[in-house]
Each structure stands twice: as structure tokens, then as C-alpha cells.
Amino acid sequence: FCASYTSNNSKSTITNLKWIYNKKYLSLITLLGLSSFFLLLDLGKNSLIDWDEAIYAKVSKNMFLSRDYLTLKWENVWFEKPPFYFWISSFFIKIFGITEFAVRLPSAIFALLTILVSYLFSIKILKTRIAGFIAGLILLTSAKYFYYARLGMLDVTISFFIFSTVIFYYIYTEN
């Protein structure tokens, strides 16, 4: 019984992974693989930047330690920024501990999502996967974008939502 179950399970696993070898998805897998590698490589290696990144990390840490997810606190109550980024950051602090990696991970994830959205939008507009790959690669290799994608700051997260909003507006008006 166990041998037949294992072989059936492995066959279904191999069948489920056939999409990886499909050339249709090769550019997407390559782009997301390269992006993930460069965005996550040594993400928590350096210490936090003194002002903004350290403040945002402290607010997320205070949120996590106090379990108060509605009131942002730095030294006192601090309502300068919207709480969404701090919720995500404190979630990753809960998973990975109070580390630079946990604080910076939300920016890296939203950078990856922005690269994905630019890939998909370029394919929709230009009707070719190579255009999507180049668009994502250009975004990944833009110096300032790459720099901020690896910091625990709100810039890349906000740019993801602005970029997505513009694209959804374009798609809506096109239809």
C-alpha cells in the first residue's frame, strides 16, 4: 500500500511540475528567480539606516511587542504614516524575530510584486514575453529602485500600489 501510494503521489507531483518546463513560463520564472536572488541576497546583513529605516523598524517593533496594531508608537504616539506597512513588518518580525531581515522583507516582496506587475502589463500592451522580461529587468536593475527595495522603508510599497492603480485604470479605460 505505501509503495503504490508513494509512486502515485510522485507521479502527480511530477505532472504538477510540468509547467516549469513549458517555454511559455520560462521568461517569468527566470525574471522572478533573478529578482528574488538579488533582492533577498544578504538582505539583513547591514545595520539599519539611522533615520527613517530605524524609525520604521522601531515602530514595527513597538507594535509587535505591545500587540497594539491600531496605535503607532515611536517614542510617543506617532501617526505620521499609514499603518499597513507596519502591520506587515510586525508580522515578519513575529516570524523571523526582531532583525534587519524581518524589517526589510516587506519592501523586497513588494519590489518583487512590482516587477511581476510590470512584466504582466508589458505583455498585455506589447503582446510579447520578451518585452515583459525586459521591462521587469529594467526595473530590477534601476539603481535607486533596487536600493530602496532592499531597505525597510515605505517607498517601494507605495510605488507598488500607485503603479498597480495606474495599470488598473488603464485596463479599465481600455475596456
For residue range 64-103, list pLDDT tens digits in order.
999 999 999 998 999 999 999 999 999 999 999 999 999 9
46 backbone φψ class: left, alpha, beta (φ>0; ψ -120 to 50) = beta
pLDDT for 24? 80
Whether 88 contacts 154, CB under 8 Å: no
**Amino acid residing at 166:** V
Confidence bin at 143 (pLDDT 50/70/90) = very high
Rg of the chain over all Cα atoms, to the nearest angstrom: 20
pLDDT for 18? 66
Does the CA dihedral 28-150-92-101 come out positive or negative? positive
pLDDT at position 52 over 80: yes
pLDDT for 16? 63
Burial (0-12, 13-18, 19+ Cβ within 10 Å), 1: exposed
pTM for the structure as a whole:
0.85
Q: Tell me the mean pLDDT in the region 145-159.
A: 96
pLDDT for 94? 97
The two counts, helices (H) then strands (E), for the chain are 8, 0
For 3-32, write each residue's pLDDT tens digit. Answer: 444 445 555 555 566 655 667 889 999 999
The angle at the Cα of 19, spanning 16 to 23, to the nearest 5 degrees, equals: 165
pLDDT for 23? 77
Does the CA dihedral 41-44-50-53 come out positive or negative? positive
pLDDT for 1? 32
Of the chain, the percentage scoring pLDDT greater than 70 comes to: 87
